[in-house]
């Protein structure tokens, strides 16, 4: 599988990423408040952004909490559990930073070369730093169907430039 790498410091794109970051911070703050109020020591998150579970030092009350992943989630079958779930849903689950790439139709789920273990799927991936107002996109290229983003927003770079920036800065 071949990849191309693009760099951007476009204000509109960065504004979209900041909007997602602000929603993530608001969501995390809400869940942290809930975590403290219920006596949990930490919480885990799915890659989709939702809460996977809360972790406690000791097993919490079984009438309020049910086992989930490596921890516990509140039950819907009682008042206390419902109250916690209402608090959790008070703030919407933020989207992934990669969803900002949808604005420019970056390819999703490109099939790679078949291997003995199956066919790998590749997605456009985003990385960068808010402090430097610079982000990079790793884009899978299909044979005969190379993707080209808007060049006024994204500049093609070499992989080593991206890696050097992420390591050094």
Round to whole Å and give the CA distance between 50 and 29: 13
Q: With cut-offs at 50, 70 and 90, classify the pLDDT of residue 22.
A: very high
Tens-place pLDDT, residues 58-111: 999 999 999 998 999 999 999 999 999 999 999 999 998 988 998 888 888 888
79-88 and 11-38 are packed helices; what angle lies between their axes, rounded to 10 degrees?
Answer: 160
pLDDT (average), residues 156-165: 96
For residue 119, give the H/E element and its range. none
Tens-place pLDDT, residues 100-152: 998 888 888 888 778 888 888 888 999 999 999 999 999 998 876 778 888 89
Structure token digits, residue 19: 């909007």
């Amino acid at each position: 599988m071949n990849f191309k790498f693009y760099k951007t410091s476009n204000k509109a794109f960065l504004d979209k990423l900041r909007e997602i970051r602000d929603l993530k911070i608001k969501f995390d703050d809400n869940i942290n408040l809930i975590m403290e109020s219920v006596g949990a020591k930490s919480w885990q998150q799915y890659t989709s952004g939702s809460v996977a579970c809360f972790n406690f030092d000791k097993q919490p009350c079984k009438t309020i909490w049910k086992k989930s992943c490596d921890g516990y989630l509140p039950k819907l079958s009682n008042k206390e559990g419902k109250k916690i779930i209402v608090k959790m849903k008070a703030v919407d689950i933020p989207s992934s930073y990669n969803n900002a790439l949808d604005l420019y139709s970056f390819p999703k789920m490109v099939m790679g070369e078949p291997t003995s273990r199956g066919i790998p799927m590749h997605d456009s991936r985003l990385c960068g730093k808010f402090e430097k107002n610079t982000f990079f996109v790793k884009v899978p290229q299909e044979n005969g169907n190379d993707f080209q983003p808007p060049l006024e927003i994204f500049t093609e770079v070499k992989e080593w430039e991206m890696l050097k920036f992420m390591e050094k800065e």
